[in-house]
Structure formats: structure tokens, C-alpha cells
Amino acid sequence: MADQVAPLRLDGERKSGQDVRDENVSAALSVANVVKTSLGPIGLDKMLVDDIGDVTVTNDGATILRLLEIEHPAAKVLVDLAQLQDEEVGDGTTSVVIIASELLRRGNDLVKKKVHPTLVISGFRLAMKESIRYIRANLATPSEALGRECLMNIARTSISSKVIGAESEFFANLVVDAIQRVKTINSRGDYRYPVKAVNILKQHGRSMRETMHVHGFALNCTRGSQQMPSRITGAKIALLDFDLQRVKTRMGVQVLVTDPKELEAIRRREEDMTKERIAKIVEAGANVVLTTKGIDDFSLKFLVQKGVIGVRRVKKDDIRRIAKLTGGEIMLTLANLEGDESFDTKFLGVADEVSQERLADDELILIKTEEGSRATSIVLRGPNEYMLDEMERSVHDALCAVKRCLESGRVVPGGGCVETALSIHLEEFATTIETKEQLAIAEFAEALLVIPKQLAVNAAKDATELVAKLRAHHYLSQSDESKADHKYMGLDLVAGVVRDNLAAGVLEPAMSKVKSIQFATEAAIALMRIDDFVRINPKQQQQQQGGGMPGGMPGGMMM
């Protein structure tokens, strides 16, 4: 009789086939349900409280998902998806999660109808490629043709769903001015707009309309001494990454002194060395000294005598940005190649004005420069910490949206326009496919409608009626050439009607939609490929450090 093969013993839990897919879909839908009510201009906010009591109030999808403690592996894929969208585009994090979860749900329904997962995945990929091609060929409009007003509309659309939506005009102007000010040219001659060059500071007090745009860099520090001048015009800035303190003998060095007069001479020499170092910096022309380390009282006294502003404990990130802004160079030491200490004038940064100004209960150092500089600052004002944090996230999203529009040069209408147009087109495209992928493409087309439906639901409108009207307009635009301008029709969620969103100025970067569809499809495919789930039980720690014997006897003992 042939030996029977013993079954595999697994110290853990295993699920296979449809059970795994159902569980993954359930986890993905749970994540999407958390964020879907925050979609759109009339979306709601979420309050998140962590284990130590810190409160966050936001409707930014990436922030909500990052703060949630999610354990299910499939749900974590959607959290990573939102973070990826946030890093790549900066906006559209909520919609990408909603689309991915809907694709996963509809793909799972097809698998239940005996369509193989491989065919569903292949159909989704076909639909994704056709969607991207259609956006670029038919829906994207060059932003250059629309001018500054296009950038304003991009910023307004991004801000409209945020806490600062009521002041969208004010903040849109501020965002567009800030991002255009940091324009740079890379080695290939392309314009780039680094969002990191826009320094965002938060100051409690006053209303959000008191937010300031500073042409230069705002530093959350103060002068080292109140006796220093509070304002210097024609500033020459020394940027140091070492401390200005009295020189001390290093650890392990012994100095044997027999005469007390010699001890006093050593102390005087230590003071003179510090004074000489500061004198070299001042004689080079510096009238502002910024350092990442400390400045002691003796050094401050010397700087006061010379009429120099000294600022200590500057963050390293800030001092790097100031170096870029002013054309200065950060000095790690004053030592030169010969071993002597010197400070060259070429290391100094130049600014029109450096001043200390009071805002609310705090004071800031403002480094102002003329046009052409590559850094700028936004000082946000608001009533409390929660509002300021959410304002910072909102302004950052708007900056990213305008940046993507400027760099890619293509915009598309918002308000569910793109998703509805793609849905109609993909339904037609599916009929040209003779294989079973047709079913997956048709489901992909239906899944995209989740965005206009959710927008209407969040605005307390009749979603079924509005989406039906929207589909009718887009069907006409694709079937009747005389009505091709209907392809820009989207939802007006305030009035609850369908309108031309290109003319209305509801615009988004084309890159945002392309990336959303790409990332959502890839995430859904990654989860659909899973048909086995194994969770290994954690190994029990041995009770004794030296190991235990069977029966609970300590290791090394015998009966």
C-alpha cells in the first residue's frame, strides 16, 4: 500500500479563493467609506483623536488615512495609495481611494460570475490605457491659452473643498503669487516650481484674511539680544553652522598652571579668540549673523557693540533655504586651507532688508528680497491650532495643484466631467472588444461614475437625476459632432444643475486625473491578484531565558 502524504501543518490561519477576495473588498470599502463623505466642495470634515489626545480636524484624504490605525493588509494598500497620490500630485487623494475601492468591488462581482481574475485584470488595464489616451486627446486643454485666470481657477477648485473655501478668491491670489515667485529653470531648460521653496508659518490670532504673503523668507526666531537693531536695510548675511561661544579647552586636555596670573591670561586669550572670530565675520561686511548653534552672552555683547543682528538656533532646513534665497554659502568652519581662520566676502548672502516684526504674540525675523528671488513665505493667521493646521494642508494642496498645472501645461474640467465622459466612451469602446475583457471594461466604465454620484450625494442633491443628465450631455458630445462642446459639462453642486465647467472655471490639472486613474487601477489589480492569505501565529516566548523543558520544568533540570 502506497504511503499517504501527510497534510501540510500550518501554525496559523489560511484563507483561499473567494473568501480572501471578499475580505479584501470589505476592507477596501471600509476605508473608502471613511473618506467618501469628505469629497467635493460641500464635503464634511473628520475629527481624529490619537492615543495621547492630540486632535486633528481635516478633510484631506491622505491625512485622514495616515492618522487611522489600520491593521488589515489590503486596507493598508489604499493608505499607501493615498500617500502616493499626495506625493506625486498633491491633490485628489480622496477620489483615488474611492475609485480604487469601487474597481475592486466591481471586479470581485465579475469573479463571482465565473469570469477569471486574469481576464478582469487584463480588461482593467485596457480600460486604463484607453482612459488616459482619451483624456489627453479629447478633454485636456492647454493652460497657456487660459492665462493667469486658469491658475486662479485651479487654485479656487482645490481650495473650494477646504476649510478656507469661503475665502477662495483671497487665497487663490496668494497661492498663485507665491508659486510663480519661486520659478526656477533646471539643467534642461524647463521651468520648475519647487513647493518646498514656499515657507509656510502659522501664527495664532486674527482672522484668516489677515494671512500675509512675504516677499522673502520668514524665520520663526528672534534676535539674540533686545539691544540689537530691529531693522537693517542692505543686509549682508553670514550663514554659520557652528557656535559663537567662548573657546573652551577640549575634553582630555590638561593645562598645568603654576602661576595664577597665567590662568587669567589663558581666560583672556579664550575671550580674545572668540572676539577675533566675530571680528573677521564683521570686517568682511556682515551685518546679520545666522547660526544653527548657540551664541553666548559674551559674543552677543560684541555683536551689539558692532550693530549686528545675531540670530541663533536657526533650523538647518531654514538656513539652507536662506542660502538659496540670498546667494550666500553656509560656513561649517572659519579655517582655510593654510590652517588659519578667515572669512571671505563671497560667502555672504545679500538681502534688501532684515527686520524683526511682531505678529500676534510672537515675533518673526523677515528676510525681504526684491523680485527674482527664489523663496517666499506665507504667514497664516487663524483662531486656533486646528484651523491653522488645516489651513496649512489646504494651502499646500493648492500650491501643488498650481505647480502641476504650470509644469504639465494641461487642464481638464472638474465636477465629475472627466469621469462621466470616460464612462460613456469606455461603454462604446467595450463593444469593440470581442473577448471577455469586454465585461471588465464595461464594469470599469460604471465604476468611474462613483465620483459624480458621490459629489452629488455629499451636496445633498438627487444623484440619480444629476448623473443621468450629465451622461446624456456627454453621450450627445460623443455621438453628434455639432454638440462637441458638451464634453466640458460637469456638475454645479451649489445650484444642483449641469453646466459647462470649463467656462465656469472649475478646473483641475490633467495630470491629477491621469495619475488618479493609473494609481487606482494598479492598486485594484494588485489586490485582485491575491487568492491566498496566510497569517502565521506569533511564536510563544519561552518562559525561561535558557529555554524550558517539556512539562514546564526549567531547562537543565531532570527528574
Interval 271-290: pLDDT, tens: 677 788 888 888 888 889 99
CATH of the domain at 326: 3.50.7.10
Instruction: Report the b/e string of 370-392 with b at 16+ CB within 10 A.
Output: eeebbbbbbbbbbeeebbbbbbb
* Catalytic residue (one of 86, 91, 318, 397): 397
Asked if 94 is an active-site residue, the reply is yes
Q: Count CA atoms closer than 13 A to 543's CA, side-chain side.
A: 8
- 289 assigned to some structural domain: yes
What pLDDT does residue 371 have? Answer: 56
- 41 assigned to some structural domain: no
* Catalytic residue (one of 56, 63, 94, 291): 94
Asked if 340 is an active-site residue, the reply is no
pLDDT tens digits, one per residue of 355-405: 888 766 678 888 887 655 567 888 898 888 888 988 999 999 999 999 988
* Domain count for the chain: 1
pLDDT tens digits, one per residue of 82-131: 888 888 888 888 999 999 999 999 999 999 998 899 999 999 999 999 99
pLDDT tens digits, one per residue of 290-313: 999 888 888 888 889 888 999 998
- 340 assigned to some structural domain: yes
d(C-alpha 400, C-alpha 489), whole Å: 25
pLDDT tens digits, one per residue of 248-260: 666 666 767 777 7
What pLDDT does residue 559 have? Answer: 35
In the 8-state DSSP scheme, what is residue 554?
B
What pLDDT does residue 91 have? Answer: 81
Closest CA to 344 of 288, 285, 272: 285
Q: Residue 333 sits in which domain range?
A: 216-370
Q: Is residue 461 helix, strand or coil?
A: coil
Q: Is the Cα torsion angle 457, 461, 465, 470 positive or negative in sign?
A: negative
- 23 assigned to some structural domain: no
Asked if 361 is an active-site residue, the reply is no
Low-confidence ranges of the chain (pLDDT < 70): 1-12, 145-146, 247-253, 255, 263-264, 266, 270-271, 337-339, 359-361, 370-374, 540-559
- 186 assigned to some structural domain: no
- 254 assigned to some structural domain: yes
| DSSP-assigned beta bridge partners for residue 379 | 201, 212
Q: Count CA atoms closer than 13 A to 113's CA, side-chain side.
A: 12
* Catalytic residue (one of 60, 86, 91, 389): 60
- 547 assigned to some structural domain: no
What pLDDT does residue 455 have? Answer: 92
- 336 assigned to some structural domain: yes
What pLDDT does residue 184 have? Answer: 80
* Catalytic residue (one of 63, 93, 274, 292): 93
Asked if 37 is an active-site residue, the reply is no
Query: How many residues are recorded in the chain?
Result: 559
d(C-alpha 285, C-alpha 298), whole Å: 21
